[in-house]
Amino acid sequence: MLGTYDIVIVGGGPAGLAAAIYGRRAEKSVLVLEKNGFGGQIAWSPMVDNFPGIPSVSGAELADRMFSQALDMGAEAELAEVTRLRREGAGYAVVTPDGDYAAKAVILATGAQHRRLGVAREEELAGNGVCYCAVCDGAFYAGRPVAVAGGGDSAVQDALLLSNSCSQVYIIHRRGEFRAEEANVEALRERENVAMLMSARVTALLGDGELTGVRVESEDGSAREIEVDALFVAVGSEPDSAPFADLAATDAAGWFTAGESCEAGKPGLFVAGDCRAKSVRQLTTAVGDGAAAAVAACRYVDALR
């Protein structure tokens, strides 16, 4: 065993870090395991202006503050991928490639990952013009034409961000209206270097080894090829739940089906944040889940004594 904890939290995004803070406030020993980078998806958000009490802050800074707060309160954190959970005695073995951690309670806060567009050669061209993060990769395409696929808040925000530096931005959405916040859609409409291709889909990626354009087909049957150096895919997210689906129930799409109490239906197992089936996936709802899951986990640990 690499260590023994009251609570092991799988995932170091806002839900996991909020859970760590609540766990430490209840004086539990807490370990957070994260496979990529602490802070989760919010760390890539250029600006967060809907977190109560903090009118405007970059996602990276907010993530950093949450992480520091959890550590300052005594939570431990390790970069490690959890490959599975195993029931062991009254608790769990949390399995990583370097060994196992023992936990009385586990909170799965595994978040979500970028959904693929599902067009041929997407994997092949990923990193060679096909991108999933405008904040990370947008600067590479300054002064050049790009496209964004999607119609939600992410796509519209990405298009806004890219239009600040790219020569031309095409936003390609499969329906006639966006589901994004109207204020951002309006702001996008006012950009002179943005073209909105509505009721249209990307049906082919062009270019040999490097993206040079996309083929777009409209609902009316017309098709055109657009020369772009990058396609930013922003079509939502999918849960990162597969390694745990044997212990925590999921719906058909793979989201954990715990209710508001965040209890996953097995003793000492809880889920929190974007990985949970819910209607609103926001920073605020993620930290709310983290708090609820940690309170329930602390009660569970106390009852074992």
* Catalytic-role residue among 49, 64, 100, 137: 137
Taking CB under 6 A as the criterion, the residue among 4, 50, 68, 261 binding ligand NAP is: 50
* Smallest distance, ligand NAP to C-beta of residue 237, A: 6
DSSP string for residues in 149-191 = E--SHHHHHHHHHHHTTSSEEEEE-SSSS--S-HHHHHHHHT-
* Smallest distance, ligand NAP to C-beta of residue 191, A: 18
Structure tokens at 184: 């951002």
Each residue 224-253 as x (binds ligand NAP by CB under 6 A) or -, in order, gives ----------xxxx----------------
* Smallest distance, ligand NAP to C-beta of residue 75, A: 26
Is residue 136 among the annotated active site residues? yes
As a whole number of angstroms, the distance between CA 107 and CA 19 comes to: 8
Nearer to ligand NAP, 113 or 237 (CB): 237
* Smallest distance, ligand NAP to C-beta of residue 112, A: 8
Q: Tell me which residues in 53-82 interact with ligand NAP (CB under 6 A).
A: none
**282 contacts 50 by C-beta, under 8 angstroms:** yes
Each residue 118-157 as x (binds ligand NAP by CB under 6 A) or -, in order, gives x------------------------------xxxxxxx-x
Is residue 166 among the annotated active site residues? no
Structure tokens at 251: 């719906």
Nearer to ligand NAP, 175 or 299 (CB): 175
Taking CB under 6 A as the criterion, the residue among 65, 87, 144, 179 binding ligand NAP is: 179
DSSP string for residues in 232-299 = EE---EEE--GGGTTTS-B-TTS-B---TT-B-SSTTEEE-GGGB--S---HHHHHHHHHHHHHHHHH
Task: Give the residue from 120, 126, 172 showing the smallest Cα distance to 148.
Answer: 172
User: 19 to each of 103, 174, 216, 265, 296, how far by Cα in Å?
Assistant: 15, 37, 44, 18, 10
**3 contacts 31 by C-beta, under 8 angstroms:** yes
* Smallest distance, ligand NAP to C-beta of residue 56, A: 12
Angle made by CA atoms 234, 258, 15, in degrees to the nearest 5: 55
Residue with smallest beta-carbon separation from ligand NAP: 152
Q: Which helix (H) or strand (E) holds 131?
A: strand 130-131
* Catalytic-role residue among 6, 98, 100, 136: 136
176 binds ligand NAP (CB under 6 A): no
Enzyme catalytic residues? 133, 136-137
**Which residues form the interface with ligand NAP (CB under 6 A)?**
50, 115, 117-118, 149-155, 157, 174-175, 179, 234-237, 280-282
